[in-house]
Amino acid sequence: MNTSTDVFAKRDFVNPQGQQQLPADFQLLLIGGGFSGKRLAAEVKRRGGKVLVTHRQQQADGPHLLFNSETGEQPPLSALMGTTHLLSTAAPEASGSDPCLRCLGPVLQQLPLRWAGYLSSTGVYGDAKGGWVDEQSDPFEPLQTRSAARLACEQAWQVQSWPTQIFRLPGIYGPGRNPIALLNRGLGKMVHKPGQVFGRIHVDDIVGAVLHCLLMGEQNQVTQKLPGIVNVVDDLPAPSSNTWSYAAHLLGCCLPDYLSYADIEAELSPMAKSFWQENRRVSNKLLKLELGYQLKYPTYREGLMACFKEEGFSFQG
């Protein structure tokens, strides 16, 4: 990890308000226009950049490029010409391989790429038993199978020939993916496990942080290597019961039923259980203090309030 004070000193070159326009020749190939990808594509366009978005199937709001590592369908090189930047949002395949590198690797080598980004997961740190971890922390073994695959995908990205940055993400929330609408439909469950916290990030801070880092790479003044791994997490690891409570506060509704984790553990799916079996606090010091990114939503409170407004809810009474 590059923690040199030089990077810190250069941060003034990047507009902290995130209004910076993208270079005239900028073309982003975005692997996956899902929850994060869709928001990123919109912001790239807003900042005057060109973006090519892939989906596994044709979408109603096309046109998109079709890319599906499972069927082998992929765009021809001619459709990708002029791509200067690449971001992959696709999770590892069932086999553990990275879908983008496995299928598109040879094609990507023929593009004039100046930067690549990969959305990863803070699951690669494993269970820190509530302790803090940062980008230099070794994983706590044993890792979940999916996190071991994630780490292998990260390693595959790290050895590519382009400058590459890996963004480690905690639970992603935003409009359409948060407790407010669920609670409004009476579907909330407030599960509590003593001492357990979760990290989270609002989708717009993923967008903001990715563009911030990408633009730092574009600055002529920044000559040193950018950090290869960056945690993109908010300031406040917190129990999920806190977010349910705050959602109830915003809606002015009753709190959902309180359930003790110990009482419901047996009913959970293996996947749901696996999230509760890891407890860590992930540091964002590198992103904020060294790279100078200002979180739009430092905690779930600002983030849920923004979701509440964007989803058209209003305060009652």
Ligand X SMILES: NC(=O)c1ccc[n+]([C@@H]2O[C@H](COP(=O)([O-])OP(=O)(O)OC[C@H]3O[C@@H](n4cnc5c(N)ncnc54)[C@H](OP(=O)(O)O)[C@@H]3O)[C@@H](O)[C@H]2O)c1
Among the residues of the chain, which ranges form H helices? 5-10, 35-46, 77-80, 99-108, 145-158, 179-184, 203-218, 240-251, 261-264, 270-276, 285, 300-310
By the rule CB under 6 A, 69 interacts with ligand X:
yes
Please tell me whether residue 108 binds ligand X under the rule CB under 6 A.
Answer: no
Of the candidate spans 77-85, 87-95, 209-217, 305-313, the one that interacts with ligand X by CB under 6 A turns out to be 87-95
Closer Cβ to ligand X, 94 or 159, answer by number: 94
Q: Is 172 in the site for ligand X (CB under 6 A)?
A: yes
| Residue 199 interacting with ligand X (CB under 6 A) | no
Rounded (10°) CA dihedral 297, 284, 198, 18? 20
Among the listed ranges 6-14, 62-70, 207-215, 232-240, the one in contact with ligand X (CB under 6 A) is 62-70
Residue nearest to ligand X (CB): 34
Give the residues across from 172 on adjacent strands. Answer: 201
Q: Which two tokens stand for residue 57?
A: 């199937």
Identify which range of 18-26, 44-52, 89-97, 271-279 contacts ligand X by CB under 6 A.
89-97
Which tokens belong to 295?
């979180």
What spatial distance separates the first Cα and last Cα of the chain, rounded to whole Å?
Answer: 51
Cβ within 8 Å of residue 56, ≥6 positions away: 66, 67, 68, 70, 71, 73
Residue 250: CB minimum distance to ligand X, A = 21
Scanning 61-69, 243-251, 255-263, 270-278 for contacts with ligand X by CB under 6 A, the matching segment is 61-69
70 is a contact residue toward ligand X (CB under 6 A): yes
Q: Which residues pair with 27 in a beta bridge?
A: 50
**Segment lying near ligand X (by CB under 6 A), choices 83-91, 136-144, 264-272, 277-285:** 83-91
146 binds ligand X (CB under 6 A): no
| CB burial of residue 129 (10 Å; 0-12, 13-18, 19+) | exposed
Candidate list 11, 47, 50, 56; residue touching ligand X; CB under 6 A: 56
119 binds ligand X (CB under 6 A): yes
Residues forming contacts to ligand X in the complex (CB under 6 A) are 32-37, 55-57, 67-70, 89-91, 93, 99, 119, 121, 169, 171-172
